[in-house]
Amino acid sequence: MENLYLIVGLGNPGADYARTRHNAGFQMVERLARRWGVGWAYEKKFNARLAWAQRNAQRVLLCQPQTYMNASGEAVGAVLAFYRVPLARVLVAVDDADLPLGEVRLRPGGGSGGHHGLESIAGHLGTSEYARQRIGIGRQSGAREITGHVLGRFSSTEAALLDKVLTVASDQAETWLDAGIQKAMNQFNGVVGDPGN
């Protein structure tokens, strides 16, 4: 499809996981869908929720894999293969426990950083060369076992900060669409609230 872009938000499906730290990627693409006034539909053949948007001359497909985080690549690989989206037009939004809450970092590629969703996507695509937007969720100081933390919900103070972060992350995704990754990185990477954000 001409001029088709794919923005994937990673997370876990179901009410038990809604609004947890691990679902920051889901929340970012939900923010974009609301901003653009588009609705979601479940597509069984991909096991994913999809939302279609038209922005200027661009067709944008928002995607939330419903496979659970560790198998995200199954849905992303199926969507990419079906719609033949070039990797240069793919952006994956994901939570990152190694970044403090309040920080956003977009990169054109790189390793998984131990994130099982990114590992799954790289395994299915056979490459890590796709843009990824890391949304900081922080970690409990000194804790190595972080499962309980990432599957926990934000406190009211954290949720207020996350709301600002999701606005910046959405702005960054739109800039990636409109002006390319370099401008999106330069303008928005860093701590939300710093000059430039």
The residues assigned a catalytic role are: 22
Element (H, E) at 106: strand 103-107
Coil, helix or strand at residue 169: helix
Q: How far apart are CA 79 and CA 26, in angstroms?
A: 16
DSSP 29-98: HHHHHHHHT---EEETTTTEEEEEEEETTEEEEEEEE-S-GGGHHHHHHHHHHHHT--GGGEEEEEEETT
Read off φ and ψ for residue 117, nearest 5 degrees.
Answer: -65, -45
CB 125 within 8 A of CB 92: no
CB burial of 70-84 (b: ≥16 within 10 Å; e: otherwise) equals ebbbbbbbbbbeeee
